[in-house]
């Protein structure tokens, strides 16, 4: 095989004799570099992105055309209600990949290399998060485009869409910290997936993503009404349709802040722990 | 600076398992040092402490004049680690992997790209540079992993079992690279399970067992303790072994070592001529032998000579 032979001594000499040590990269530069790595992964493994958007698109089609008439009178009317929630569900599910990616890196030994480099030690975490926020935005844009094609007509216009997407990204960023913890505690990427789905399934289905809160029995309303995913989908729906959303937005921001304040210190502690 | 690595009484436990029971090591700058031992002996733990990935429970370790715990960052600036498993991102191309490391070490994008191209060229990986690493062969992955440790040439390079799992051809290529790296003045600490590897690359060796250095010296000195070659004799009848043992001890002037096989004996030889003398004595004594082999002493023989038990037993004990 032509690409498998070692060249002559003289060619390695120059490369191995280069003895210049640059100044270590700044924290910002190493985070940017690691975010670039996350983007390269999307480029090389686009399947990861489609994988998590195909299911929501199926859901959108199924719910809109099969249940839409029954739930909201007509499918066209139902998609106005459903799509903001589907966006939330999609991105909330993709956050799991933050933990999956981290667990994979640790298992493959890549974190040993990162940790032996003279850089700001938490860079890999923040680089991965920055890359993930980009990934969430792409998935979000994809869902919105599909929605628009299927007849979703947000009254709030582009500004409403952007504000809603921004709010979902804030919540997704917060949620990612939980999966970072899971990613460092369990052994395999597959178990990150299963562990987190145990939480995410009830979190997304016991919400008002698919049906309105007031159609549920009273006791269930009490539960679903306190689910942060309900706040998020209500807020996104209101923002996209140009309706007042301040209350739900405040709840979402509050919940995100609480998650970050609790989970981030734990995650950092685990990250610095020996393994 | 006389010593690149100075280690005194290094102790490390994981839960109730004691991985290191007091390691002492002094490694001269500008040399290749081989840390030899079976699986679970403590080679990787020692390497990880020296590369600042683990903190010792007791003892001290200085790398290039810096304490590995208190001055971890200063150590990281001067060393590179190539761990036991290829620590590159398999989703990325070889070139992208090296650019990534270059950027994290503080090179500009342009410098990092140039350096990646040069290294891949020097390591014979140019043709595969643009392909995802997951499509590469094991030997090529190992090489790009070592290349990643040389994006900025370190003063000290840790290579943890660099050829484990490689085919002979890839192994020879890695050996050649290690020689070239050392020839340019980088100190190399190499861990290995293979005596042959340590013998070929390292000027000095430390034999490690149960988290302790049990022997230290040049390859020649270590081999002198087991003889330059080894003779294995297997008898047709295991009951005759005491006779064979007495006979070999008489010819050699020292006791042969007993193997796990009850019909077999192994003796380190000072010269191949002694093998002829032993075989002649066996014929004279009319002992029936099933077969005999003459070979270079392996890690097993070093271990037998140093600890009185084979390396496989040591690995099995460590795994328990």
Secondary structure (H, E, C), chain A = CHHHCCCCHHHHHHHHHCCCCCCCCCHHHHHHHHHHHHHHHHHHCCHHHHHHHHHHHHHHHHHHHHHHHHHHCCHHHHHHHHHHHHHHHHHHHHCHHHHHHHHHHHHHCHHHHHHCCCCCCCHHHHHHHHHHHHHHHHHHHHHHHHHHHCCCCCCCHHHHHHHHHHHHHHHHHHHHHHHHHHHHHCCCHHHHHHHHHHHHHHHHHCCCCCCCHHHCCHHHHHHHCCCHHHHHHHHHHHHHCCCCCHHHHHHHHHHHHHHHHHHHHHHHHHHHCCC
Confidence of residue B308 (pLDDT cuts 50, 70, 90): low
Residue A16 lies in a domain: no
CA distance B209 to B316: 12
More confident: A109 or A179: A179
Task: Note the pTM of the prediction, 2 decimals.
Answer: 0.82
> B53 at the A interface (CB within 8 A)?
yes
- Give yes or no: residues B101 and B88 share one domain: yes
Mean pLDDT in residue range B24-28: 93
Residue A134 lies in a domain: yes
The structure tokens listed for A67 are 């249940």
Answer whether residue A1 shows pLDDT above 50: no
Pick the closest to residue B49 from B79, B85, B87, B86 (CA basis): B79
CA distance B199 to B196: 5
Residue B218: its H or E element: strand B212-218
CA distance B239 to A144: 84
Cβ neighbours for A90, distance < 8 A, ≥ 6 positions apart:
A52, A53, A56, A139, A140, A143
> B177 at the A interface (CB within 8 A)?
yes
Residue B20: CATH number of its domain? 3.40.50.300
Mean pLDDT in residue range B206-219: 89
The answer to whether the CB of A112 falls within 8 A of the CB of B81 is yes
Determine the 3-state secondary structure of B278 from DSSP.
helix
pLDDT digits 0-9 by tens, B100-153: 999 999 999 999 999 999 999 988 899 999 999 999 998 899 999 999 999 999
CB < 8 Å from A in window 71-90 of B: 73, 76-77, 79-81, 83-90
- Give yes or no: residues B166 and B229 share one domain: no
- Give yes or no: residues B42 and B176 share one domain: yes
More confident: B22 or B271: B22
How many distinct structural domains can be found in chain A?
1
pLDDT digits 0-9 by tens, B215-257: 898 887 877 766 667 788 888 888 888 888 888 888 888 788 7
Chain A CB contacts of B100 below 8 Å: 33-34, 36-37
- Give yes or no: residues B177 and B144 share one domain: yes
Structural domain ending residue among the three candidates B223, B248, B268? B223
DSSP code for B132: B
pLDDT digits 0-9 by tens, A109-120: 888 889 889 999
Nearest CA in chain B to A45: B91
Answer whether residue B316 shows pLDDT above 80: no
How many distinct structural domains can be found in chain B?
2
- Give yes or no: residues B95 and B179 share one domain: yes
Cβ neighbours for B218, distance < 8 A, ≥ 6 positions apart:
B203, B204, B205
Nearest CA in chain A to B158: A116
Structural domain ending residue among the three candidates B205, B223, B241? B223
Residue B135: its H or E element: none
**Is B53–A2 a contact, with Cβ atoms under 8 angstroms apart?**
no
* Mean pLDDT, chain A, whole residue set: 89
Rg (CA), chain A: 22
At B114 the pLDDT is 95
Answer whether residue A275 shows pLDDT above 80: no
Residue A107 lies in a domain: yes
Determine the 3-state secondary structure of B258 from DSSP.
strand
Structural domain including A36 reads 25-272
Structural domain including B26 reads 3-223
DSSP code for B127: G
At A2 the pLDDT is 41
**Is A40–B92 a contact, with Cβ atoms under 8 angstroms apart?**
yes
Pick from B100, B104, B124: CB nearest A4: B124
**Is A113–B87 a contact, with Cβ atoms under 8 angstroms apart?**
yes
Q: How far is A145 from chain B (nearest CA, A)?
A: 28
Lowest-confidence range among A98-102, B64-68, B196-200, B266-270?
B266-270
- Give yes or no: residues B53 and B201 share one domain: yes
pLDDT digits 0-9 by tens, B71-97: 999 999 999 999 877 789 999 999 999
CA–centroid distance for A80 within its chain: 23
At B87 the pLDDT is 85
- The phi, psi pair for B61, rounded to 5°, reads -140, 125
- Give yes or no: residues B119 and B135 share one domain: yes
Cβ neighbours for A224, distance < 8 A, ≥ 6 positions apart:
A206, A207, A208, A213, A216, A230
pLDDT digits 0-9 by tens, A191-222: 999 998 898 989 988 899 888 888 888 898 88
- Give yes or no: residues B105 and B142 share one domain: yes
CA–centroid distance for A219 within its chain: 31
At B299 the pLDDT is 61
**Is A274–B90 a contact, with Cβ atoms under 8 angstroms apart?**
no
Residue A15 lies in a domain: no
Size of interface A-B (CB pairs under 8 A): 140
pLDDT digits 0-9 by tens, A27-42: 999 999 999 999 998 8
Task: Report the 10 Å Cβ neighbour count for B271.
Answer: 11
Mean pLDDT in residue range A131-140: 89
- Give yes or no: residues B218 and B231 share one domain: no
């Amino acid at each position: 095989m032509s690409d498998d032979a070692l060249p002559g001594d003289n060619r390695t000499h120059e490369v191995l004799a280069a003895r210049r040590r640059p100044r270590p990269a700044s924290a910002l530069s190493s985070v940017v570099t690691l975010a670039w790595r996350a983007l390269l992964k999307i480029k090389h493994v686009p399947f990861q992105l489609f994988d998590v958007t195909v299911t929501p698109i199926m859901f959108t089609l199924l719910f809109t055309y099969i249940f839409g008439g029954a739930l909201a009178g007509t499918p066209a009317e139902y998609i106005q209600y459903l799509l903001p929630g589907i966006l939330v569900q999609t991105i909330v599910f993709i956050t799991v990949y933050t933990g999956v990616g981290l667990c994979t890196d640790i298992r493959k030994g890549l974190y040993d290399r990162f940790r032996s480099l003279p850089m700001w030690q938490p860079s890999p975490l923040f680089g991965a998060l920055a890359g993930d926020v980009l990934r969430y935005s792409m998935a979000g844009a994809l869902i919105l485009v599909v929605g628009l094609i299927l007849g979703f007509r947000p009254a709030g216009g582009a500004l409403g869409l952007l504000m809603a997407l921004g709010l979902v990204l804030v919540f997704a960023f917060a949620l990612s910290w939980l999966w970072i913890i899971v990613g460092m505690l369990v052994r395999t990427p597959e178990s990150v997936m299963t562990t987190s789905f145990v939480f995410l399934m009830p979190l997304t289905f016991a919400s008002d993503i698919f049906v309105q809160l007031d159609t549920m029995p009273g006791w269930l309303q009490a539960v679903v009404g306190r689910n942060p995913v309900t706040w998020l989908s209500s807020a996104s729906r209101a923002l996209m349709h140009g309706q007042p959303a301040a209350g739900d937005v405040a709840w979402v921001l509050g919940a995100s802040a609480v998650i970050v304040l609790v989970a981030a210190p734990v995650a950092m502690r685990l990250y610095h722990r020996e393994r | 600076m006389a010593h690149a690595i100075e280690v005194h009484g290094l102790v490390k436990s994981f839960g109730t398992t004691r991985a290191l029971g007091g390691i002492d090591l002094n490694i001269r700058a500008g040399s290749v040092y081989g840390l030899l031992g079976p699986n679970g002996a403590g080679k990787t733990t020692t390497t990880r402490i020296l590369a600042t990935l683990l903190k010792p429970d007791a003892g001290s370790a200085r790398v290039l004049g810096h304490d590995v715990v208190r001055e971890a960052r200063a150590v990281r600036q001067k060393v590179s680690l190539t761990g036991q498993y290829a620590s590159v991102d398999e989703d990325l191309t070889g070139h992208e992997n090296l650019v990534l490391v270059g950027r994290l070490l503080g090179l500009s994008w342009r410098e990092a790209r140039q350096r990646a191209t040069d290294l891949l060229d020097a390591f014979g990986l140019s043709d595969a540079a643009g392909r995802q690493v997951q499509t590469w062969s094991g030997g090529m992955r190992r090489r790009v992993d070592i290349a990643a440790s040389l994006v900025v040439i370190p003063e000290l390079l840790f290579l943890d079992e660099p050829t484990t799992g490689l085919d002979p051809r890839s192994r020879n290529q890695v050996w050649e690279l290690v020689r070239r790296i050392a020839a340019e003045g980088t100190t190399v600490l190499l861990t290995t399970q293979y005596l042959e590897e340590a013998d070929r690359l390292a000027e000095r060796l430390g034999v490690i067992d149960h988290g302790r250095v049990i022997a230290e010296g040049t390859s020649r000195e270590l081999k002198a303790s087991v003889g330059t070659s080894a003779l294995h004799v297997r008898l047709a009848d295991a009951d005759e072994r005491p006779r064979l043992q007495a006979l070999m001890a008489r010819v050699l002037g020292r006791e042969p070592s007993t193997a796990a096989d009850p019909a077999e004996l192994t003796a380190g030889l000072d010269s191949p001529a002694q093998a002829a003398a032993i075989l002649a004595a066996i014929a004279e004594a009319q002992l029936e032998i099933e077969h005999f082999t003459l070979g270079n002493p392996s890690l097993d023989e070093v271990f037998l000579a140093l600890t009185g038990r084979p390396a496989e037993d040591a690995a099995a004990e460590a795994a328990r």
